[in-house]
Amino acid sequence: MTREASVAPSEMHVMKHSLGWPKRYRNHFCASEGHDDWATVQGLVERGLMRVGRKPGPLSGGDTVFIVTEEGIAALEAYERA
């Protein structure tokens, strides 16, 4: 099974939201522990599809800022082609 095939729809939703898909006009997702998508984002980070872009701070309202990696973008593109 390819990594792309193992990405759940909820994970695709988070990555698409992060990027402003399909226009790709941004690349960030803000979340903290307790956020509804926290576990989803952590799973994406563990698999290298997203990474921490910025630690919690005032600019993000105290949230961690995550960004989609090139591997994550490739997974989204493959998912869209399938």
Residues 45, 42: Cα–Cα separation, whole Å: 5
| Domains of the chain (ranges, CATH numbers) | 4-81 (1.10.10.10)
Residues 7-63 have pLDDT tens digits of: 899 999 999 999 999 999 999 999 999 999 999 999 999 999 999 999 988 988 899
Contact 62, 36 (CB under 8 A): no
* Structure confidence by residue, pLDDT tens digits, 2-22: 444 578 999 999 999 999 999
- Burial class for 29, CB neighbours closer than 10 Å (0-12, 13-18, 19+): buried
